[in-house]
Amino acid sequence: MSATAALPASVDREGHSALPAPPREVKAEAAIAELADTLSLVRHHRHDRFISANGLEEAERLAAVFEGQDFQSKIARAVAYVEARARPATGDEVGRQIALLLGSYPNARPSDPAVYSRMLIEDVRAAQPTWAALDSACRHWRQNQKWPPSVAELLDELGRAESRWRVRADMMRSATETIQHHRELIDRTKARDALIEAERADLSEPE
């Protein structure tokens, strides 16, 4: 008996098929990760008062990217995406994802497949993962591990996925504030530099 034999059917009561995440989902997650990485380039400066002397040109380049319509549109779509997937996964969704995960390892031979699959489902349900973390964790394990996980390993993977998505969601939700602060930082730095130049000019004039 295989580990997946004791799992829920591949189609739930609502008619949802237990298929892998479609390519657009994978691409969306990669796009959000890229947006978060880009925002992180300036987010760690949010407590600074000025930009370093050799960093202003790069800061201006990033500001042009952030304030462009294309980037703003991507942020709006990303916020909608993460908000929609921040909900708790349903019991049926947990069952489908575990079925996909275990079905990806056809040669796995747990000593008691029924107990193994049941415990995976029950313990993951008890963890109450978000849909985003559940989908991401199961896909990440399938793509990177040669063997199916123990309950503890899958819960650890879920924890890491929750952390990743929490950071990404925070990045997307605070993107407008981050971009605004970045622009203010540039303007404040340029105003300071202009004042310094004016003072130098005054000092260089003969009395």
Neighbouring CB atoms inside 10 A of 161's CB total 22
CA atoms within 13 A on the CB side of 143: 9
Stronger pLDDT, 108 or 71, i.e. the higher one: 71
What percentage of the chain has pLDDT greater than the value 90? 50
pLDDT of residue 23: 62
Q: Rounded to whole angstroms, how far apart are CA atoms 96 and 107?
A: 19
Is the pLDDT score of 8 beyond 50? no
> Does 6 have pLDDT greater than 80?
no
Predicted confidence (pLDDT) at residue 7 exceeds the cutoff of 80: no
pLDDT of 82-107, one tens digit each? 898 899 999 999 999 999 999 999 88
| pLDDT tens digit sequence for 25-64 | 778 888 898 998 888 888 877 777 888 878 888 889 999 9
Residue-averaged pLDDT of the chain: 84
Given a cut of 50, whether residue 15 has pLDDT beyond it is no
Structure tokens at 88: 């708790």
Q: Is residue 67 within 8 Å of residue 179, measured between CB atoms?
A: yes
Helices (H) and strands (E) in the chain, counts: 8, 0
The pLDDT of 134-151, averaged and rounded, is 94
Among candidate residues 169, 177, 182, 171, the one with its CA nearest the CA of residue 65: 182
Question: Is pLDDT at 12 greater than 80 in this prediction?
Answer: no
Q: pTM for the complete prediction?
A: 0.73
Residue 70 binned pLDDT confidence (cut-offs 50, 70, 90): very high
First and final CA of the chain: distance in angstroms?
Answer: 97
User: What's the Cα-to-Cα distance from 151 to each of 27, 89, 115, 118, rounded to whole Å?
Assistant: 28, 17, 11, 10
pLDDT number for residue 44: 72
Burial 127-159 (b: 16+ CB within 10 A, else e): bebbbbbbbbbbbebbeeeeebbeeeebbebbe
